Amino acid sequence: MKKTATRLADGRELLYYDSRDDVVRTAADRRPLPPAASTGEIRRDPLLGDDVVIASHRQARTYHPPPGECPLCPSRDGRTTEIPADDYEVVVFENRFPSLAGDTGRCEVVCFTADHDASFAALDEDRAALVLAVWTDRTAALAALDTVEQVFCFENRGHEMGVTLGHPHGQVYGYPFVTPRTATTLARAAAHRERTGGRNLFDDTVAAERADGRRIVLEGAHWTAFVPHAARWPYEVHLHPRRRVPDLLALDDAARTEFPQIYLELLRRFDRIFGPGRPPTPYVSAWHQAPLQHPHRTEFALHLELFTIRRTAGKLKFLAGSESGMNVFINDVPPETAAERLREVASE
């Protein structure tokens, strides 16, 4: 993998990732942009202890641009975009409208392909492997920043998930704090360790799912995918490497080699859940990694959580009163039924 760094017209960093070492990237951003600025701030909820990001400048971000004006497509035919080159494999750049920036962290955009009409599921295994290498590289880069405590790589797909740009892309957040979800999980892991005389919560959870078997979606030599026993979302899959590691940096070569095959198969099954001819399934795909400075970070288990809010072909799962008001989820699809359906739509 070759990484080429440059700067956009407003000073933001942009990085090209290419599979070949002989690729040369020289295109410059000639747009008349003012210097990048962010007005975000972080406030602490006194009742829950959660950190909340206030980012009013994001109200001005690009919102469902008309056809032909996508800012994530290459710059071609006289039209300039966020990416100066006329083609690319994978590109990362600092978000123009970041939730977190400077002393409050960092937000990056990851473009998986130059093809506006593609999707991650349509990528081949070589490109998916390159994206995994990019996620790993960005995890290392953001982890090295003094302002970052946790790195979060994710993709939102579909307007139902709030996506405002249709081009296949994801994001990387460098939080200046440990996220509430991760803090709760670490506390549960500590309690489990104390209660069981040193056993690991993640190891025991994955072992229980494998022993039960009803919610296993697919297994490889180095990865296990299952619908969790208490799934919150209609179709939700957790993907764990067989060898527990705290983050993407610690994955071994065998797990990296197998990941594209496993992950692409999961995404393709998600698109087949509701039958042929249906619109692509909206989803969130989220990597959970250990916080950088936590004393028990090596006991955290890197894993990916993939879920959709679509519960039937024409219905969505909304966060209504119980979920939004009390954080008590009510799932209409039994996890065993979801797992069975995801097995039924396996590639032939």
| In contact, 216 and 210? CB cutoff 8 Å | yes
Give the pLDDT confidence score for residue 62 in this predicted structure: 81
Q: Determine if residue 288 is labeled as part of a ligand binding site.
A: no
Q: Determine if residue 70 is labeled as part of a ligand binding site.
A: yes
Give the pLDDT confidence score for residue 334 in this predicted structure: 98
Q: What is the DSSP letter of 230?
A: T
Give the pLDDT confidence score for residue 277 in this predicted structure: 85
Give the pLDDT confidence score for residue 44 in this predicted structure: 95
Q: Which CATH class is domain 180-344?
A: alpha beta
Distance separating alpha carbons of residues 133 and 44, to the nearest angstrom: 34
Give the pLDDT confidence score for residue 38 in this predicted structure: 79
Range list of H helices, 160-234: 180-195, 201-212
- Residue 307: partners with Cβ closer than 8 Å, 6 or more residues away: 231, 232, 233, 234, 235, 236, 237, 283, 284
CB half-sphere exposure, 216, CA atoms < 13 A: 15
> Degrees (nearest 5) of the Cα angle 342, 345, 347?
120
Length of the chain: 348
At 289 the three-state DSSP class reads coil
Q: Determine if residue 192 is labeled as part of a ligand binding site.
A: no
DSSP string, 46-64: TTT--EEEE-GGGGGS--S
Q: Where are the domains of the chain?
A: 2-175, 180-344
Q: What is the pLDDT along the chain (348 residues), one digit of tens a residue?
A: 999 999 999 999 999 999 999 999 999 999 999 998 877 899 999 999 999 999 988 877 787 898 889 999 999 999 999 999 999 999 999 999 999 998 899 999 999 999 999 999 999 999 999 999 999 999 999 999 999 999 999 999 999 999 999 999 999 999 999 999 999 999 999 999 999 999 999 999 999 999 999 999 999 999 999 999 999 999 999 999 999 999 999 999 999 999 999 999 999 999 999 998 889 999 999 999 999 999 999 999 999 999 999 999 999 999 999 999 999 999 999 999 999 999 999 997
Task: Supply the CATH classification number for the domain 2-175.
Answer: 3.30.428.10
Name the pTM for this structure. 0.97
Instruction: Taking each helix axis as running N to C, give the angle between helix 253-272 and helix 125-143, from 0 to 180 degrees, rounded to the nearest 10.
Output: 120
Catalytic residues, which ones? Answer: 169
Q: For residue 4, which phi and psi values (nearest 5 degrees)?
A: -120, 120
Give the pLDDT confidence score for residue 246 in this predicted structure: 98
Q: Determine if residue 73 is labeled as part of a ligand binding site.
A: yes
Intrachain domains 2-175 and 180-344 with the same fold: yes
